[in-house]
Amino acid sequence: MLPFSFLCFLALVVSSIVALATPTSTIRFNPTESEFKARQHNTPGSSLSQLEARQLTNAQRLARGYPLKPPIRRSLSLKKASRSGLNATLNGYLQVSENGQVLGYVSKRFNKQGEYGILTDKPGDYLSVSLESGEAVLGNADISTVNGPLATFPFFGGMTGFTSTSSDLNPGVSNYIVFGGVVQRPPHSTPAAGRNSFTDRTGFPTNIESAIFVIDKSTFKIKCRWVNSDGKTVEPFLGYHGSEWCLQM
């Protein structure tokens, strides 16, 4: 058995994972390391992981720009969260599969560009996440990360791809969305600038959304709903470009 006691395993599962269209071999998915090193900067305090930041006092958290810890609620009895409750918190990992075949789990480590683009089969490297089931059923849930590499970005969210011409996803257009650490955005928000791990790592600006996830409570399969700049919602598929995975129409 795995050394975890989560209520469930979350699955980021799609019916088909396809290769993204690449008309020429010169199309790039991400900036090169030499490009982003020239622009590289870091958010103050961003070197701490989420697990490390959890050990800080509230005064230390304020000094580093982190949100305060919630107050500890004490009770004479312990109540176990119910999976069937409307607002139950679901905890687990993000599993990626194709037609029932598990490809791996989202890693707790960023790639060089600050994206959650790595899949792993090592339980110790799984990204631990949580979300509220009530919001997820409605299709506007945030996914909080528990053991992410940067405490500054506590949500698993979408970021406009580096070579996309806009943040809109439409059929026949090569725009794409990558996943990374982001700050929280309101539900149904259109793409907008916000602090994120890609910009923190590379120095290149990008737009983000966070509340884009919907869950099927009977299977725990998760879909993504991206809001275009005109306010219309689309349901993109999960695609591969080389060793990277992303959302595209």
User: Facing residues of 157 across strands?
Assistant: 180
**Torsion 149-151-155-160 (CA) sign:** negative
What six digits make up the tokens of 72? 């500890």
Nearby residues of 212 by Cβ (< 8 Å), 6 or more positions away: 140, 157, 158, 224, 225, 226, 227
Which pLDDT tens digit goes with each residue over 10-35?
A: 464 433 344 444 433 445 778 777 77
DSSP 8-state secondary structure symbol assigned to residue 81:
P
Which pLDDT tens digit goes with each residue over 47-69?
A: 776 666 666 677 776 777 666 66
> Is 108:119 a contact under the CB 8 Å cutoff?
no
- Residue the block writes with tokens 């030499």: 34
Which pLDDT tens digit goes with each residue over 179-198?
A: 999 999 999 999 999 999 99
- CA proximity to 191, closest of 206, 203, 173: 206
User: Facing residues of 160 across strands?
Assistant: 177
